[in-house]
């Protein structure tokens, strides 16, 4: 008598095996029902696949037919799993319509999903990447919701931003940090600020990461994905590790440093439960926190009283360089501030050359 179970993609109900067993031993359904003490209709419905075998029935079948209960339950479970997989495949086929919204090429390039041209495999890869049962659930997951609150102006892709956030979250989990220490992070602000004056940006980044790690902050550098247009983000993996995620978009040093300290501002000023996207808030209720992070970065980089005094006099390349030295910052930070506040034009031929661009390794 067959007692082995083999996994199969074919949905074979335990009732088929029961029918074959009864034929083999020459027992009728009526006799089995009598021996089980169950209605004939129940036996017939099991054989026809209309009724599932419960643990109680499996034990009773073991008593009557001598076939272990785990065999019956294994057949039943395998049957249900195959049916579930068939339904899942149908849903995945339907969700292939959604994959064009995601930056699949960027995710492949960054090593987060495997390269494949098959739409159904892309759905499966994206589900694994986002840790969801269905792609349609992504906007409902708290960790990704901020991406879907971003204004759609300027060809923004919410799915791309959610992908970028999840990629950053995965990389952050790999970074070892000390337990978050808010006091220590505050004490290290000037040290972090002074690192911008190193000539090699890659050396700067290494020292930034070491310093931040000692404060319980993971710095993740991840190129921006198509249609994200976000410079930075802040979130928490748990209460002991904060994450600053930087996109390196554009490469201008003043943008990088302002964005960096903007994100640090969120860590020091705002609740751990929130995810913050720089310039990514279309909700007026959250704009106040963005403004507070902006002010934090602005005041940390340049003393406001000194800046007002500086702009009250003639502005030249030499005066910008001298003022930057007084503040202990790069000249590009001063130029960026002047441009942002529309004191000079973005194409100012005298000062725009001071706005250097980082090249990342």
% of the chain beyond a pLDDT of 70 = 94
68-118, pLDDT tens digit by residue?
999 999 999 999 898 888 888 898 999 999 999 999 999 999 999 999 999
Does pLDDT of 261 surpass 90?
yes
Q: Which domains does the chain have, with CATH numbers?
A: 14-96 (1.10.260.40), 102-297 (no CATH), 302-361 (no CATH)
Question: With left for phi above 0 and alpha for psi between -120 and 50, is residue 342 left, alpha or beta?
Answer: left
202-230, pLDDT tens digit by residue?
899 999 999 999 999 999 999 889 989 88
From the list 64, 107, 84, the residue with the least C-alpha distance to 225 is 107
Q: Residue 1's pLDDT is what?
A: 37
pTM to 2 decimal places:
0.80
| Residue 9 CB neighbours (<10 A) | 8
From the list 244, 120, 226, the residue with the least C-alpha distance to 177 is 244
Query: Per residue in 295-329, is it b (16+ CB within 10 Å) or e — as a string?
Result: ebbbebbbeeeebeebbeeebeeeebeebbeebeb
pLDDT bracket for residue 3 (50, 70, 90): very low
Say which residues have a Cβ less than 8 Å from residue 134's Cβ, sequence separation at least 6. 91, 95, 127
CA 242 to chain centre: 15
| Strand ranges of the sheet holding 276-277, from the earlier edge strand across to the other edge | 217-221, 241-246, 232-238, 276-277
Spatial contact of 301 and 193, defined as CB atoms under 8 Å apart: yes
Over range 19-26, report the average pLDDT.
Answer: 95
């Amino acid at each position: 008598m067959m007692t082995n179970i083999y996994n199969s993609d074919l949905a074979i109900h335990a009732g088929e095996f029961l029918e074959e067993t009864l034929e083999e031993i020459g027992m009728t359904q009526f006799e089995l029902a009598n021996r089980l003490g169950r209605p004939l209709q129940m036996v017939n419905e099991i054989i026809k696949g209309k009724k599932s075998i419960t643990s109680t029935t499996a034990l009773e079948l073991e008593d009557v037919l001598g076939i272990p209960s785990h065999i019956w339950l294994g057949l039943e479970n395998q049957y249900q799993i195959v049916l579930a997989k068939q339904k899942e495949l149908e849903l995945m086929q339907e969700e292939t319509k959604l994959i064009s919204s995601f930056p699949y090429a960027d995710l492949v390039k960054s090593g987060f999903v495997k390269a494949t041209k098959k739409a159904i495999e892309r759905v499966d890869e994206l589900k694994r990447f986002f840790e969801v049962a269905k792609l349609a659930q992504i906007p409902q997951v708290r960790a990704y919701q901020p991406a879907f609150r971003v204004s759609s102006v300027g060809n923004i892709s919410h799915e791309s931003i959610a992908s970028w956030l999840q990629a950053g979250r995965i990389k952050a989990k790999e970074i070892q940090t000390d337990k978050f220490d808010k006091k220590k992070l505050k004490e290290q602000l000037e040290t972090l600020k002074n690192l911008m004056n190193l000539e090699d940006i890659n050396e700067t980044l290494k020292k930034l990461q070491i310093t931040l790690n000692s404060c319980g902050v993971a710095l993740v550098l991840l190129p921006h994905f198509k249609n994200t247009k976000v410079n930075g983000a802040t979130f928490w993996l748990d209460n002991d590790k904060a994450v600053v995620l930087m996109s390196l978009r554009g490469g201008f040093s003043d943008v990088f440093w302002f964005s960096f300290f903007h994100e640090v501002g969120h860590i020091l000023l705002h609740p751990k439960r929130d995810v913050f996207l720089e310039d990514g808030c279309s909700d007026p209720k959250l704009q106040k926190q963005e403004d507070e992070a902006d002010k934090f970065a602005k005041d940390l980089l340049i003393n406001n009283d000194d800046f007002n005094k500086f702009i009250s006099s003639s502005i030249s390349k030499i005066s910008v360089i001298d003022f930057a030295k007084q503040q202990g910052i790069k000249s590009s930070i001063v130029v960026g501030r002047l441009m942002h506040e529309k004191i000079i034009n973005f194409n100012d031929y005298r000062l725009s050359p001071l706005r250097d661009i980082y090249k990342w390794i």
